[in-house]
Amino acid sequence: MIFEQLQNEVTAILARYPVKRSALLPLLNLAQAREGYVSEPAMREIAKLLDLTPPQVFETVTFYTMFNLKPIGTFHLQICKSLMCALVGSDDLVAWIKNQLDIGPGQTTSDNMFTLSVVECLGSCGTGPMMQVNDDYYEQLTEEKLKRIFDDLRRDGTCSLKSGPFMYPESAAK
C-alpha cells in the first residue's frame, strides 16, 4: 500500500482537479518516484483512489513513455538521438556508452546501476548531445564528461555536472 504513507501528497493532488481522473498522471508519477517503476499493485491502488477500473489505469500508463512497467537500474540514462543532437554527435556517444557499460538500449548493467534508453528530443537541442539521468539533465556531453558522470554517480549517487536553471548562451554580463 504505497499511498498509505503518502496521504498528504494524495490529498493535495486530488484537491487540484474537479474531476478525479485528472489526478491519474500525477499519482502515477508519484508512484514511480517512490518505487522506481509503476507496479501492478500501485496501479490497482490508484484505480481505487480514482474510482477507475484497473484497465483504465493500464491503458493510460501504456500511452506514456516515461512510465516504467518493470524495475530498472538505480540510474536511468536516457540519451537523446533526435536530429539536432545527432548533428552534434549523439550517435558516437551512444555507441561509446554501449561499449563502456556493455549494455544496449533497454538493458541494465549487471550491478543494477545503469539502465540505458535511447530517446527522442528532450527539449535541450542547443546544448546537445544531452541525456537525462533520473530527474537531471546533463548537456554538451563528451566522452570525458560521461566518464566523470558515471564515476560520480557510482561513487556519490549524484554529479555536479547536472544542469541548473537553463539559459544558453549565458548572458554576456556574467
- Binding residues vs ligand FES (CB under 6 A): 80, 82, 84-85, 121-125, 128, 130
Give the closest residue to 17 by CA, choosing from 41, 39, 49, 45. 49
Q: Which is nearer to ligand FES, 39 or 90 (CB)?
A: 90
What does the alpha-carbon distance between residue 91 and residue 133 come to, in Å, rounded to a whole number? 18
Q: 66 touches which of ligand FES, other proteins, none (CB within 5 to 8 A by kind)?
A: other proteins
Q: Which is nearer to other proteins, 2 or 49 (CB)?
A: 49
What does the alpha-carbon distance between residue 84 and residue 125 come to, in Å, rounded to a whole number? 6
Element counts in the chain: helices (H) and strands (E): 7, 4
Residue 140 CB, shortest distance to other proteins, in Å, is 10
Residue 119: how many CB atoms within 10 A of its CB?
Answer: 17
Coil, helix or strand for 132? strand
Q: Which of 41, 48, 59, 70 binds other proteins (CB under 8 A)?
A: 59
Q: Which of 2, 49, 84, 161 binds other proteins (CB under 8 A)?
A: 84
Residue 148 CB, shortest distance to ligand FES, in Å, is 21
8 A C-beta contact, residue 27 and residue 13: yes
* Integer angstrom CA distances of residue 113 from 50, 69, 87: 34, 18, 29
CB under 8 A: which stretch of 3-11, 101-109, 115-123, 141-149 binds other proteins?
115-123
8 A C-beta contact, residue 39 and residue 56: no
Q: Which of 40, 120, 143, 151 binds other proteins (CB under 8 A)?
A: 120
Give the closest residue to 116 by CA, choosing from 102, 136, 135. 102
Residue 74 CB, shortest distance to other proteins, in Å, is 17
Q: Which is nearer to other proteins, 17 or 111 (CB)?
A: 17
Query: Which residues would be at the binding site for other proteins (CB under 8 A)?
Result: 16, 18-19, 21-26, 28-29, 50, 59-60, 63-67, 81-84, 86-88, 120-128, 132, 135-137, 163-169, 171-174
